[in-house]
Structure 1
Amino acid sequence: MRTAYSVETVRAAERELMDRLPDGVLMQRAAAGLAAACADLLRRRAPGRVYGARVVLLVGSGDNGGDALYAGARLARRGAGVAAVLLAPGRAHAPGLTALLAAGGRVADDPFDATAAADLVIDGITGIGGRGGLRPDAVPVARAARGSGAVVVAVDLPSGVEAGSGEVVGEALRADATVTFGTYKPAHLIDPAREYAGAVRLVDIGLGAVLPSVPELEALQHADVARLLPVPTGESDKYRRGVLGIVAGSARYPGAAVLAVAGALRGGAGAVRYVGPAGDAVIARFPETLVHTGPPAKAGRVQAWVVGPGLGDEPGVRDAVASDVPVLIDADGLRGLDAAAVRARTAPTLLTPHAGEAAALLGIPREEVESARLTSVRELAARYGATVLLKGSTTLVASPDTSEPVRANATGTPWLATAGSGDVLSGLMGSLLAAGLTALDAGSVGAYVHGLAGRLAARGAPTSAEGVAASVPAAWRDIASGP
């Protein structure tokens, strides 16, 4: 599992660790890890080519600039030609600059000539405290670095991204790789900043000894998801595996019901009870489905409900919310949702909005949700007393319990942006709720499996929601089989 901590937590941990260590040791640890990573990248680009490689350092006024200078000194001692572009000449890290010059590095006379000839550029312009994008004077140099064809390596974070939120406000320098120290930061796990970071390497500098045990953000990986996947035993029957009720579809959108049922069956539900006007379409595709005309309260026993996909103005949301089993509310079910009724529920609730639906629930413009996704998902969870899955290129899942980390998932593919994909996801997550997973686990595991199924279905080409549903078993097997 990848875990990330807020800027404030990281800074406090760094201060505590520095108080325990001799002066400068922490920066030297970071610089050593950065230099080793850069050497690896140079060797991959041209085998054996650390000696004689042309390295350019983009140096700001903060500690990231110092890390870059010390790493540059290490590379210079290994025979690389290292030039530093000082974006704040009077405020560059003085001991780091002295070390670079002593090792044979130099200060670049012309930043554009230097970057044009570089094999590798180290971005040390700003650090975790940077806000609002790159300063205007740094933009031309950053653009030149990105356009040079050199490998760009960010120190801790790509300059210009917001460390704590993953936002990119203004211009930022897109990296091919990022070397971060001690722990991941939210920007490494949340888009759009995550995309700017490239491949991320975590360097251990001893920070784990002083960081809190519970992070602010976490991202599940294969092994974590494998431990959470429900597995039937010899004593299992369809009821023990979980019966999921689905209230979805309408005369206008019968396909939404079919796709939600597909996601539920592919996701391991022991049985699916469908309630709604699309029963004929559902039975034609999945004859094993138990169809009822409704209302949900009279449809029979279930372990969880999914309500909302393609529902239009059909009834059913109120019955599901009034039930005493876990409920997932998606799509049309979110329109006009009564926050007080959701908060009053004693069983878990999972809300699954996209940015537009989240904006309507919060009463703010969509742009505010998209620019502050982490804040928005936390606010929604607090306001509704529910677990919230905020869809997007990075899916975020937040529990109403603020002591639990928000979970980020990025297993998807842009090809998942297709009609009906969210209906499949709702059915899949609902099956996990019915199997007994918590709302936080059902949301994060469902998003992980769904994203991987999307990749398998697409393989770099367009796919459909039906294709995604069909690929869920392959994704499940891939996860369950281990590394």
Structure 2
Amino acid sequence: MASLPEGALMQRAAAGLAYAVVGHLRGRGLGGAYGKRIVLLVGSGDNGGDALYAGALLARRGARVEAWLLSDRAHAGGVAALKAAGGTVSSDVFSTSSTTGAFDVVVDGIVGIGGKPGLRPDAERALALLPGIPVVSVDTPSGVCVDTGEVDGAHVTADLTVTFGTHKPCHLLDPAASACGTVQLVDIGLRLPRPAIESLEAADVADLVPRPAPDGHKYSRGVVGLRVGSATYPGAALLAVSGANTGLAGMVRYVGTASEWVKRHNPEVVGDGQAQAWVVGSGSADGANSALAFARASGVPLVIDADSLRALNGPLGVPAILTPHAGELAALIREDRGEIEARPLHYARLAAKRFDAVVLLKGRRTTIASPDPGTPVRVNTTGTSWLATAGSGDVLGGLIGSLLAAGLAPIDAASAGAWLHGAAASLASAGGPVTASGVAAAIPAVIRSLPAVSPLRN
């Protein structure tokens, strides 16, 4: 990087941003840049410079570009470039007529990745002058917390966020991720350190999914046991078993009051015996504590969901994956649900440390934290809003249990399971409603669609 000419990275970022703005305009059926009216909201950081240089490129393509300077320390080279390309610059936007008009797009270059959460009053005022106009944010929507995904005060809500080098935590973690719109990544040649937050892609999941050895058998592929369901919630047992019984483990065991139902719908499922992993809690009602106690005494890894979460008061002494939604985690750690939804990264990490377990905090962007502080937190981005349906969590628990029994480490079982579950929901939904049973049925098809396993896989 030291050999790059000064300003080269900014020029690369500006070029990527300009192309993204053109693509956004075309995507809205407006054609290219020629004749379009574009306003840049420019702060003092480098992303303000990115916006100005991108504005210069767009002006050269025939766009009418105005820059509203919200700081007296705007990037001087960018300002000069925009003026030279025929753009206009205003440093007193609230007293000029240029603050009104039919703009086609707003480019948000107010605050960069080093900025604090929230917006200054002048930025809020500028945005208020531009209601309803699509926004393209530079790197991140101004005003969100980049490193945690939290929001505190006013912030930009973008239609498109153009980021450089790599995704930032706020692009993955809610609630900030909800403000990013579509995120477009531009490679500008950065050398990147190991991330604190990561998100699996299809190739990563393909490398994690257990595949039978040529000489494998049902026991070598792993046996997953489930102690779930109750007389009150027999359907939870069926759904959890359907998530486990997708062929990822060699055998599925079920122990509980819904045995006849389970075997009628899944004749290959067997009864009690040894297992390499147990799933407990889904729909267990009054039997949740005893199910957890039995599974814990077996000494094998556990997936703990729903009712069995209430029995926890500290580390379990065995590898475990906890799968709460925000309400369940709130009850478990005695916090306000709204606080957990506002700070999922913080609370997933806190719970993972407190219970010495992997914590999979369900949500639009499921957050998966390891008790090992050196392990990156994983955020799952697959899925659809139609997945918010009764029983989908039961399917997820069973699916994760089968991956755990097949030999995956808890962090990998949880994150690969969340990815497959979300991808199966999208496949089954096809843009419309989906049921938990439909999600389970789609899991084998998703696995078949994964890319070929990397030759570098250990």
| TM-score normalised by length of structure 2 | 0.91
The one-letter code of the counterpart of 1:369 is I
Aligned-residue offset at 1:87: 2.5
CA distance in structure 1 between the partners assigned to 2:226 and 2:428 by the alignment: 24
Partner of 1:11: none
CA distance in structure 1 between the partners assigned to 2:97 and 2:431 by the alignment: 36
Report the secondary structure of 1:130's partner residue.
coil
Partner of 1:106: 88
Q: Does 44-53 or 72-81 show the bigger shift?
A: 44-53
CA distance in structure 2 between the partners assigned to 1:152 and 1:339 by the alignment: 46
Aligned-residue offset at 1:482: 8.7
Partner of 1:172: 155
Alignment of 1:82-481 (within 5 A): 82-88=65-71, 90-108=72-90, 116-145=101-130, 147-148=132-133, 151-208=134-191, 211-212=192-193, 214-266=194-246, 268-291=248-271, 299-314=272-287, 315-340=290-315, 342=316, 344-345=317-318, 348-480=319-451
CA distance in structure 1 between the partners assigned to 2:451 and 2:61 by the alignment: 44
CA 1:199/1:237 → structure 2, altered by over 3 Å: closer, same or farther?
same
Report the secondary structure of 1:165's partner residue.
coil
Once the two structures are superposed, residues 359-404 of structure 1 have per-residue CA deviations (whole angstroms, 9 ceiling, x without a partner) of 2332321122111111111111111111111110001111222222
CA 1:145/1:232 → structure 2, altered by over 3 Å: closer, same or farther?
farther
The one-letter code of the counterpart of 1:311 is S
**Contact 1:167/1:193, CA 8 A, preserved across alignment:** yes
The one-letter code of the counterpart of 2:291 is G
Report whether the alignment pairs 1:49 with 2:32: yes
Aligned-residue offset at 1:310: 0.8
CA distance in structure 1 between the partners assigned to 2:369 and 2:385 by the alignment: 23
Aligned-residue offset at 1:23: 4.5
**Contact 1:259/1:465, CA 8 A, preserved across alignment:** yes
Aligned-residue offset at 1:451: 0.5
The one-letter code of the counterpart of 2:379 is A
Unaligned runs of 5+ in 2: none
CA distance in structure 2 between the partners assigned to 1:286 and 1:354 by the alignment: 28
CA RMSD of aligned residues (A): 2.4
Q: Does 407-416 or 50-59 show the bigger shift?
A: 50-59
Q: Does 153-162 or 357-366 show the bigger shift?
A: 357-366
Report the secondary structure of 1:457's partner residue.
helix
CA 1:438/1:61 → structure 2, altered by over 3 Å: closer, same or farther?
same
CA distance in structure 2 between the partners assigned to 1:44 and 1:386 by the alignment: 44
- Counting matched residue pairs gives 449
Q: Does 428-437 or 36-45 show the bigger shift?
A: 36-45
**Contact 2:175/2:342, CA 8 A, preserved across alignment:** no
Once the two structures are superposed, residues 412-432 of structure 1 have per-residue CA deviations (whole angstroms, 9 ceiling, x without a partner) of 111111111100000011011
Q: Does 130-139 or 468-477 show the bigger shift?
A: 130-139
The one-letter code of the counterpart of 1:147 is G
CA 1:48/1:478 → structure 2, altered by over 3 Å: closer, same or farther?
same
- What percent identity do the matched residue pairs reach? 57
Aligned-residue offset at 1:116: 4.0
**Contact 1:188/1:197, CA 8 A, preserved across alignment:** yes
CA distance in structure 2 between the partners assigned to 1:451 and 1:266 by the alignment: 15
Once the two structures are superposed, residues 250-303 of structure 1 have per-residue CA deviations (whole angstroms, 9 ceiling, x without a partner) of 111111111111110025232211112222222222222223xxxxxxx31111
CA distance in structure 1 between the partners assigned to 2:100 and 2:209 by the alignment: 49
Aligned-residue offset at 1:135: 3.1
CA 1:112/1:421 → structure 2, altered by over 3 Å: closer, same or farther?
farther
Report the secondary structure of 1:423's partner residue.
helix
